[in-house]
Chains A and B, each alone.
Chain A
């Protein structure tokens, strides 16, 4: 069984740029959720994708967007990067649109200068 994988591991961008982060879900899982974890804080829910559709969104602006592909992998896109976007971005996979048991990947550390 393959766990959740994310790429890249680290990324440095400048303010105003755009970034794309990638996630492959755990084998057999069809739902992907994205979380932002600022330093020293708990993860905050960005949104979830199920059957290639956005299936719920947290309190994040529209410049945070995503995609899910037929193989259940997912992308998180962030436009017009701000300094406060610097964080660890976590992807979690689960089974079913209301899947409560979520398994996290190692995350992508984004630094915005």
Chain B
């Protein structure tokens, strides 16, 4: 099963708040889990990524939490800013392809 399920579809957060986006997968062959940020009219930009032997990875305001036993991973954006307003995609890598979640449209209100 290659699906990656992402939630919520949309998210509204106040400036300074924490944005949390969740993803779940079934395929245990996935070996790399990136998050991408996409602005309208642009290609996805790699934000942060994690491998399944690590439970958490932090880069600046962005943190990935990974639960291998539950087959779930999440993106936390701390101190969310209006400039973070974009669509976020989780993805999972196996073989030579990335399988993407359906996306979360994040709006950060000033």
Contacts and interface: CB of A to CB of B under 8 A. Distances in A.
Interface of A: 4, 6, 31, 33, 35, 40-45, 48, 50, 55-56, 58, 90, 92, 97-107
A106 B43 contact: yes
A74 to B, nearest CB: 14
B97 A107 contact: no
Contacts of A106: 41-43
Query: What does DSSP make chain B's interface, helix, strand, loop or mixed?
Result: strand
Contacts of A33: 96-98
Contact of B44 (A31, A56, A104): A104
Interface string B79-110: 00000000001010101111111110000000
Interface residues of B, number: 24
B39 to A, nearest CB: 10
A42 B102 contact: yes
A48 to B, nearest CB: 5
Given A55-B96, A98-B95, A100-B32, A42 B101 contact: yes
A36 to B, nearest CB: 11
A48 B43 contact: no
Contacts of A41: 102-103
B26 interface: no
B103 to A, nearest CB: 5
A19 B98 CA distance: 24
Contact of A56 (B32, B89, B95): B95
A43 B31 CA distance: 19
Given A42-B89, A56-B95, A101 B100 contact: no
B46 interface: yes
